[in-house]
Amino acid sequence: MDLLIMAILIATGTFMLNAKEQRRRIVLLGSHLGHYQIEKLMEALTDGYLRALGESTDERRDQIWSLLSTTELQLSEQFSRFAADFAKVGEEQTRVSRLSMAFPFVEKLLPALTFDMRKALAIHARGIAHVVQNTGHLSPKDRAYMMTAELFLMQHTCHWFCKSRTIATARMLARHQTPHEQLVASVSAETRSAYNTLIKGG
């Protein structure tokens, strides 16, 4: 019985410490995102992509692609500023556990098992800018597909920072029916290489 009580106390304490840390991370990320319209622009862009792909004529699709180019540029500029802003946060607040589940104090006790959220956001900012600039000369449809992957992978990273890797992956599956592995495979080669190096500690 004593062991059972001890186990319950440890589990309860771990849950409370995790909840406190997750609230801190949510507030930290939200305090920086609140200065921008990134979420609103993302929604407008992904909805616009679906609308363009659903059009039956090339002329109408081209009109929508043209209109969306302004939204893409605004999103890229705002996210780059957000990433630069978040880069000013101290490293002790930006470490993210590579473990699947959240455990308290991993960032302090086992820093080798963490990565830096500031570097992750910088990778996503470059990835979004890369697609907007279309250095790979992709078709509008292929650009829309790659941009969506870049944005969803960035969302996954933000959920990972606030909660855990497992929860972030579950949310992607629930909201977008997209596995994490598919997102990584669908972004640009530059994003994929930098991202994998960061999260795997290479």
Instruction: Please give the pLDDT value at position 157.
Output: 96
What is the pTM (predicted TM-score) of this model? 0.88
Instruction: Please give the pLDDT value at position 155.
Output: 95
Domain count, the chain: 1
- Return the higher-pLDDT residue of 129 and 22: 129
* Phi, psi angle pair for 87, to nearest 5°: -65, -15
pLDDT, tens digit (0-9, with 9 covering 90-100), for 54-68: 888 888 888 999 889
Neighbour count for residue 95 (Cβ, 10 Å): 19
Mean pLDDT (whole number) for 171-181: 92
Q: Which domain holds residue 22?
A: 2-200
Contact 150/131 with Cβ under 8 angstroms? Answer: yes
